[in-house]
Chains A and B, each alone.
Chain A
Amino acid sequence: MKFLLMVKSVVKNLVRGPVTERYPFVPKKFFKGTRGQVLIEIKKCIFCGLCQRKCPSQAIVVTKDKKNWEIDRLRCVSCAACVDVCPVKCLAMDTKYAPCSDKRYKDAFNA
């Protein structure tokens, strides 16, 4: 039987200081490959609709004749399937997440 084993770790903790980040005062650091929200470079888009077909959560709506690309941010599950499939590579994954919201909203882009 051993007692007070944690004392060592408590002392270490006191010396090291807190491990947690003081968010939101210190902004969170993201990694390069973090999947946040989808970004589009609408000028390059050819409105082929592949991203709409491949999106597993049906968050994207592409209207070819109106040249409109629309995403429902709260439906998007940040899987990056659309980014992988886009033939002209106009989609990219931001490391930041979409801003929070209590209502469903769509981001529409028009070329």
Chain B
Amino acid sequence: MSKRTIVPFGPQHPVLPEPIHLDLVLEDEKVVEAIPSIGFVHRGLEKLVEKRDFIDFTYVAERICGICSFIHGLTYCMAVEELMKIEVPERAQYLRTIWSELSRIHSHLLWLGLTADAFGFENLFMQSWRLREYILDIIEETTGGRVIFGSAKIGGVRRDITPEKLDEILKKIRSYQKEMLEIGSYFLEDSTVKHRLQGIGILSKEDAQALGAVGPMLRASGVSMDIRMMGYAAYGKVGFAPVVETAGDSYARCKVRIRELDQSVDIIEKCVQQMKEGPVEIKVTGFPNGEFFARSEQPRGEVIYYAKANGTKFLQRMRVRTPTFANITPLLSVLKGCQLADVPILVLTIDPCISCAER
């Protein structure tokens, strides 16, 4: 056995967008074990539910994550709506779907950029983020915020989008779709990119299931599982089939995300076509009571909100299981046996969002 060395990786690292710390046990250049530690950005947001009433907490839930903010707010609202037996109007359901997909597009583009940056392809990084900026503009125009949408609300949504605006958005998004496919082709076909991604960090189907991987990480290993299949918001009405790849390596994870970009645009188009005029929110009266698990699909995977209420305006307990938290175990498994130089790419392929993993 050769000599073992421990290399600390993170929480501050040039390619890491998020503060996760890994102790990498190396034999020569090979990682034999990775020991994670998290807790650098814990903010105690779950505890805050005892101090903010259940309506105000929507704003806190949105701020759990800066990227999937809307879906966090939405899932929280879904949990409380279920407890209070609120029927959300149909138009609001469609708007929620549109905004969810817009946040998926901007999150995946952000990820593509960061990944390109991690393997040293700065130009591709800039191109991905240039496209992301157009999506952020659409979001800002429709909700008023760039990343914190602030448009989820218990009982519906806070803003409506006029039909003319929807058509305009659709037209814009269609043109970005072409560019997204073009950028996607650089990732999927360029030989340098392939060298860095193909065959790196293979996660088998069995491991992915046994270790509880979620989101693109799971679907890239050949498991057809996506919470959007449950048909929350308007997904049931627009029809949905998950994107699945079977190779299980970093390249497959990249491919899943690129194909999801395409799929998201199609979902938005279907929503715009099916939407009818109508109210976007209903008045909420009374207080929630009981307990419920709400689930939804974020760009990074499945998020679970547990809410327990006791009939007062403060929830008793709220718990969030975020996708990154679930993906850390599979990450440790793929890190075993990889080369030190591949560690940044592998950490990035789970699309880590540590701030929401720690809340």
Contacts and interface: CB of A to CB of B under 8 A. Distances in A.
Interface residues of B, number: 28
Nearest to A81: B59
Contact of B186 (A9, A77, A80, A81): A9
Contact of A35 (B63, B144, B185): B144
A84 B137 CA distance: 23
Interface in A81-111: 81, 84, 93
A14 to B, nearest CB: 12
Contact of A77 (B59, B158, B159, B182): B59
B52 A56 contact: yes
B182 A9 contact: yes
A34 B52 contact: no
Interface stretch (B189-197, B207-215, B237-245, B325-333): B189-197
Interface class of chain B by DSSP: helix
A37 interface: no
Contacts of A54: 56
A61 interface: no
Interface class of chain A by DSSP: loop
A79 B141 contact: no
Interface in B263-287: none
Nearest to A33: B144
A79 B59 contact: yes
B130 interface: yes
B164 to A, nearest CB: 14
Interface in A1-50: 1-3, 5-6, 9-10, 19, 31-35
Contact of B191 (A2, A19, A33, A80): A2
Contacts of B296: none
Nearest to A30: B140
Contacts of A32: 141
Contacts of A93: 144
A6 B182 CA distance: 10
